[in-house]
Amino acid sequence: MIDGSTSHDVIHANPRERRRLGALFLVGSIVVIWFVAWLTPRVKLAAQLAIAEGRIEQSAVCQSVLIALGFFSCAIAAFGVHAQRFGKNVVAAGRFPPPGATVSRTTRVVTGRPALLIGRGQAFLGSSLVVLASVLFCLVLYGLARISFD
């Protein structure tokens, strides 16, 4: 199909990919739970200081929030790089999903112009995520520097 949007080709689901995604979700959940457990005592300590001294220790709370945003921006940037590369692979192959890609569910192959639009859109969104994550990370560094020097 030269200009058709879809073909009759189908890529069947890969059970190994499903297990990998499940493991990734599990590890991600554990990291988030650990981070919340790490952050909670710091917030409680700040609240106790506020009660005891009649004020809140803003620098401790701000540092914790800024560090969390720093980790979040790194994760967003990593996802953006992945999305950008995947989009470029789609454009280069002229089909979605590109050859060699594993899928977690049965997927119909899209070729031609619709595949190029998907690939270009994904590459653009990935690039946008990297830029926005970089800006957020710079703001985090600026905020940490302001807290440290004040």
Render pLDDT for 1-48 as a digit per residue (tens, 0 to 9): 445 455 578 888 888 888 998 999 999 999 989 988 998 888 788 777
Mean pLDDT in the chain? 86
The most confident of the ranges 49-53, 61-65, 110-114 is 110-114
Q: 11 to each of 8, 86, 89, how far by Cα in Å?
A: 10, 17, 17
DSSP one-letter code for 141:
H
> For the whole model, what pTM was predicted?
0.72
Residues 6+ positions from 44 with CB-CB distance below 8 Å:
none
